[in-house]
Amino acid sequence: MTDDGVLIVGAGPTGLTLAIELARRGAGVRIVDAAPVPHRESRGKGLQPRTLEVLEDVGITRRALAAGTTRMPFRKYFDGAHVNDTDPFADARPTPDAPYERGVLIGQWQVEKLLRERLAEFGVGVEGGTEVTGFEQDEDGVTAVLADGGRISAAYLVGCDGGRSRVRKAMGVRFDGTTDETQSMVVGDVGAEGISRDVWHQWFASDGSGVMLCPMPGTDSFQFQAGPELDASGDPLPPSLESFQRIFDRYARVPGITLTDPTWLSLWRVNVRMVDRMRVGRVLLAGDAAHIHPIAGGLGMNTGIQDAYNLGWKLALATAGQASPGLLDTYEEERLPVAAWTLGISTDLYARVREAVKEPGTGVEAAAPPPMGTGYRWSSLAAAATPAAIGDPAVLRPGDRAPDAPCLDASGSPVRLFQVYVDPRFTLLGFGAEAADAVGKLGAEHGDLLQAFTVDGGGDLRDHEGHARRAYGVTGPALVLVRPDNHMALLTLEPAEVADYLTRITTFPPKE
């Protein structure tokens, strides 16, 4: 990698997603990880619908859906007796603007495997056994210092190295929040022959304790979750197969079931922390390195992937000299509030889960999280609100997630807007024949930053069922500018506003 590229520290879902986003845009990228080989631990085990949209753009959603499952009913037991089987998403259906109505259950190691395979398609591999212990930076670049005394130079460095991030510590940023030593959980991957694998088993007791076994698709293992055993002083005992078996026997009350083949055993404590800054000069943070929170709702892996998706296009433009480094300030501007929201909602969900398990008629599904990734209306990258003369501002506003819609291409073949948005540039949709000239001119003048399409103007795309207009709230002629990370940037009638917006990207002022 040349010195004008990016060094990513940490090859979890966040770092791998970022590496792909950079590589598919032609940016120089190198990704290192302290672990010599990839892990095979289930860890974060769910991809939310918005993350599936992100990963469709990245190129692995079909593979993730094939490897995981979208159908996993909850089976709840209370004091040993079966209470009910429920599917909180049984009535969910895909819509033209949102193709993924439910998430997918899949082990984190499987997600990482799919991401590594996708990254390899761009000729980039993870350099395992490479531990970064610190860095030095100046206005021209960053030099990472390795545990073996080696050094790696890059234009930018991104710490995706988890909750104990060495990059974060070297940056000197605050990691504000709390660690609750009184609330902990043991988690692991085990075998359990004789337990059905078509439901997520949740055994709870009237004292508020219990154990859960979730069958992991594509494996023979279950993810085990429970409160830990305590020693005489009330401290959690280290996790072990023997303690898992005792906990299971106590709460499941299913004789003859032996837990076997532990491949991961972990003790987890409630941490609620986030940084006060995600960027210091040429060094940035993403994922758990920037924010950690309770596991309820499965928000951790999803938030990290969405961090990377937000940062990738901005960092690629900065390294290519197509954008002012000031554009990178919008990463922190947009993602820090999301991190704060995630900490708040996951903490609330964790409390609700703890209460739900005490009641026979409720379950973990009662604490399903609200949708993630709905937009950045507060961002300086969000243009003025939609004029009512162009569209309905109640439907969509600049900064919001750009919806999907089924269309027809110039040959009459079906094509979804999400397929169009896979191109790593900005996308301009010109609705109506009146927009055709502007679309052609803007596409020609800004082709390095922009792909441009006329919709229902006798050219590129046809909104044959009206779904695109409804999804974007467009009632007449309009120009819709969509960011490379599939959020709406601008809705206007004026070609000059589109040109000014794109020019602003290349000259974005730095934060005061």
Residue 349 is predicted with a pLDDT of 42
Cα 415 from chain centroid (whole Å): 25
How does DSSP assign 341-373, residue by residue? Answer: HHHHHHHHHHHHHHHHTTSTT--GGGGPPPPP-
For residue range 129-171, list pLDDT tens digits in order.
Answer: 999 999 999 999 999 999 999 999 999 999 999 999 999 999 9
Which residue segments constitute the domains of the chain, with CATH numbers given? 6-68+101-176+272-351 (3.50.50.60), 406-506 (3.40.30.10)
Q: Indicate the average pLDDT of the chain.
A: 90
Let me know the angle formed at the C-alpha of 96 by 91 and 101, rounded to the nearest 5 degrees: 35
Instruction: Scan for tokens 């006329």, then name that residue.
Output: 454
Segment holding 222, helix H or strand E: strand 222-226
Average pLDDT over residues 288-294: 88
Residue 512 is predicted with a pLDDT of 58
Q: 13-23 vs 300-319: helix axis angle to the nearest 10?
A: 30
Measured CA distances, 282 to 138, 278, 288, 295 (Å): 8, 11, 19, 30
Average pLDDT over residues 53-59: 98
| Band of residue 179 on the pLDDT scale cut at 50, 70, 90 | confident
Residue 344 is predicted with a pLDDT of 61
Average pLDDT over residues 469-487: 94
**pTM (two decimals):** 0.93
Task: Mean pLDDT check: name the lowest of 59-68, 319-328, 404-413.
Answer: 319-328
Report how far apart the first and last C-alpha atoms of the chain are (Å, whole number).
32
For residue range 82-135, list pLDDT tens digits in order.
Answer: 999 999 888 899 999 999 999 999 999 999 999 999 999 999 999 999 999 999
Does position 12 have pLDDT exceeding 80, yes or no?
A: yes
The percent of residues in the chain predicted with pLDDT above 70, rounded, is 90
Which residues make Cβ contacts (< 8 Å) with residue 194, sequence separation at least 6?
Answer: 256, 257
Task: Mean pLDDT check: name the lowest of 207-211, 219-223, 248-252, 462-466.
Answer: 207-211
Average pLDDT over residues 469-489: 94
CA atoms within 13 A on the CB side of 74: 22
| Band of residue 368 on the pLDDT scale cut at 50, 70, 90 | very low
Does position 475 have pLDDT exceeding 90, yes or no?
A: no
C-alpha dihedral over 470, 407, 390, 423, to 10 degrees?
A: 120
Does position 279 have pLDDT exceeding 50, yes or no?
A: yes
| Band of residue 183 on the pLDDT scale cut at 50, 70, 90 | confident
Q: Which two tokens stand for residue 284?
A: 């940035």
Residue 366 is predicted with a pLDDT of 42
Q: Which of 190-194, 345-349, 362-366 is most confident?
A: 190-194
Average pLDDT over residues 221-228: 96
Residue 352 is predicted with a pLDDT of 45
Task: Mean pLDDT check: name the lowest of 48-62, 331-345, 465-479.
Answer: 331-345
Residue 124 is predicted with a pLDDT of 98
| Band of residue 385 on the pLDDT scale cut at 50, 70, 90 | low
Residue 373 is predicted with a pLDDT of 53
Residue 369 is predicted with a pLDDT of 46
Residue 394 is predicted with a pLDDT of 75
Residue 351 is predicted with a pLDDT of 45
Does position 357 have pLDDT exceeding 60, yes or no?
A: no
The percent of residues in the chain predicted with pLDDT above 90, rounded, is 78
Task: Mean pLDDT check: name the lowest of 303-317, 369-383, 421-435, 440-454.
Answer: 369-383
- Contact (CB, 8 A) for 493 and 487: no
Does position 207 have pLDDT exceeding 90, yes or no?
A: no
| Band of residue 508 on the pLDDT scale cut at 50, 70, 90 | confident
Within a 10 A sphere around the Cβ of 405, how many other Cβ atoms?
A: 26
